[in-house]
Amino acid sequence: MVMATASLLEYIAPITYHNTSNIDVFKKNNHHGVSHAHNAQQLIGDALRQRVENIDHEFCEPGDEDTFFVADLGEVYRQQLRWKKNLPRVKPFYAVKCNPDPKVLRLLAELGNGFDCASKTEIEQVLDMGVDPSRIIYAQPCKTNSYVRYVASKGVRQMTFDNADELRKIAKLYPDAELFLRILTDDSSSLCRLSLKFGASLDATDSLLGLARELNLNVVGVSFHVGSGASDPLAFFKAVRDAYAVFNQAAAHGYSLRTLDVGGGFCSDATFEGMASVLREALDEFFPPHHGVSIIAEPGRYFVSSVFTIACNIIARRTVEDPRQGSNDEVSYMVYVNDGLYGNFSSIMFDHQNPVAKVLTSNSRFLYGTNSASAAANAAGGTEYSIWGPTCDGIDRITESIRFQQTLDVGDWLYFEDMGAYTSCSATRFNGFTDRHDVIYVCSEPGARALLNLH
């Protein structure tokens, strides 16, 4: 029997970890030298299968068929190694807002990372894990007064600013804070632009540093963010060059800055290596190691995008007979699933994503990871579907058109990969649908299992 409440998180996790079949699969594969990627896919597939095979939509309780995630914590671990290999000088401070999943945060903490937080709740969540306040940066240039008093009481000293009013606020509430001047960057090629809202232009930095000096504040570094989901590596080069100029301005005001914060924006796809190599070279040019400046970053999506797979149940189907088709009797279908733009697919609205549906089950067959799960390659092949969320709003559409060789019907499941970034964290409860969904954890990396004390 599947339980339907969100508090399941803690309930499900240990069961999944100790699930003998998963462990057996894991050991067997490892023993025979099967690649980690294969092993990861098998673990995720097993978790998906076990869950959906236990749900019979003809008999289940309300909510048993709810959307759920499978998270492979091994993927976080691999992303960490990949980061270290490509950006060995840069220490990540994970941007909590991207996905505050407690087990992801725990693993990132065990791996030695810091955290970028923007609210009291995020800071509290990180401190409650036992993370030292020095490993947190309050990277919100426009802060709430009461939160500034809160961080002062907890000893979280590092924070960003980008304007004179904020400097006066900090002088009043937390004169000992360690300040990073956030500068404006060219974010025109990023998915989510941030520079309209934050960042001091290079015309303003000198006078801000002068004011900080006047107020006797402790400026320790420069930060920037090239925009979330950045695609132009040159943006990193220009930002590092500008940051270097601000380091020199600061020196003229008597500040010996010690840290450069290169922000977030890194994607987890194959663009990462190119982006990282431009950043690495820019750092070596403007901030060579012998200058002694520490480098930190605030990656969010990089660490979590590929960690989470979501499974959604088809709750309704509408047959569409297009009169324009005439004698051609092709039918298409609108399928309605139990998650949508107001839920975990909020990333379509807020993060400009295009999640791609795959078929998890059709006609009682389990298709995860097979060729039959993917959309028909041929534009005219298979049957056409549009995929809609469960709310009453017309904008709640996940996919306008996709073709599958499989016939989809009520009770079948779809899955979507790469659903870890900016998904559940910005879901709403609109129309009475839940914004809390179960996460089944698997872990395809022995190193991560050891850090999390899983065995």
Ligand X SMILES: *Cc1c(COP(=O)(O)O)cnc(C)c1O
Q: Please tell me whether residue 232 binds ligand X under the rule CB under 6 A.
A: no
Decide if 400 contacts 386 (C-beta within 8 A): yes
N residues, the chain:
455
Binding flag, residue 264, ligand X (CB under 6 A): yes
- C-beta closer to ligand X: residue 267 or 282: 267
Among the listed residues 199, 221, 263, 340, the single contact to ligand X using CB under 6 A: 263
Q: List, as own/partner pairs, every contact residues 29-32 make where C-beta atoms lie below 8 angstroms and the sequence separation is at least 24, other chains included.
A: 30/446
Q: How far is the CB of 264 from ligand X (least distance, A)?
A: 3
User: Which residues have CB under 8 Å from 263's CB, separation 6+?
Assistant: 223, 224, 225, 226, 239, 297, 298
Structure tokens at 137: 């940066």
Among 12, 43, 44, 95, binds ligand X (CB under 6 A): 95
Hey, which residues does 35 pair with through a beta bridge? none
C-beta of 227: minimal distance to ligand X in Å? 8
Contact status: 120 vs ligand X (CB under 6 A)? no
Tell me whether residue 228 or residue 399 sits nearer to ligand X (CB atom).
Answer: 228
Q: Is 22 one of the binding residues for ligand X (CB under 6 A)?
A: no
| Three-point CA angle 221, 223, 228, nearest 5° | 165
Reply yes or no on whether 392 is catalytic.
yes
User: Least separation, in Å, of the C-beta of 423 and ligand X?
Assistant: 12
Residue closer to ligand X, measured from CB, 116 or 339: 116
Residue 92 interacting with ligand X (CB under 6 A): no
Cα(106)–Cα(227) distance, integer angstroms: 26
Q: Are strands 308-321 and 68-72 parallel, antiparallel or unpaired?
A: antiparallel
**Least Cβ distance, residue 235 to ligand X (angstroms):** 12
- Determine which residue in the list 43, 96, 98, 427 makes contact with ligand X, applying CB under 6 A: 98
- Stretch of 29-37, 94-102, 167-175, 231-239 lying at the interface with ligand X (CB under 6 A): 94-102
CB of 105 to ligand X, least distance (A): 14
From the candidates 192, 392, 425, 443, give the one annotated as an active-site residue.
392
The encoded tokens of residue 222 equal 């420069």
**Min CB(351)–ligand X separation in Å:** 9
Q: Which residues contact 63 (CB under 8 A, 6 or more apart)?
A: 4, 5, 434
Residue 306 is a binding residue for ligand X (CB under 6 A) = no
* Interaction between residue 300 and ligand X (CB under 6 A): yes
Long-range contacts made by residues 160-165, C-beta under 8 angstroms, separation at least 24? 160/223, 160/261, 161/208, 162/198, 162/199, 162/200, 162/208, 163/200, 163/204, 163/208, 164/207, 164/208, 164/211
If one counts every other C-beta atom within 10 angstroms of the C-beta of residue 450, the result is: 12
Q: Is 299 in the site for ligand X (CB under 6 A)?
A: yes
Interacting residue ranges for ligand X, rule: CB under 6 A: 95, 97-98, 116, 139, 225, 228-229, 263-266, 298-302
| Residues carrying an active site annotation | 392
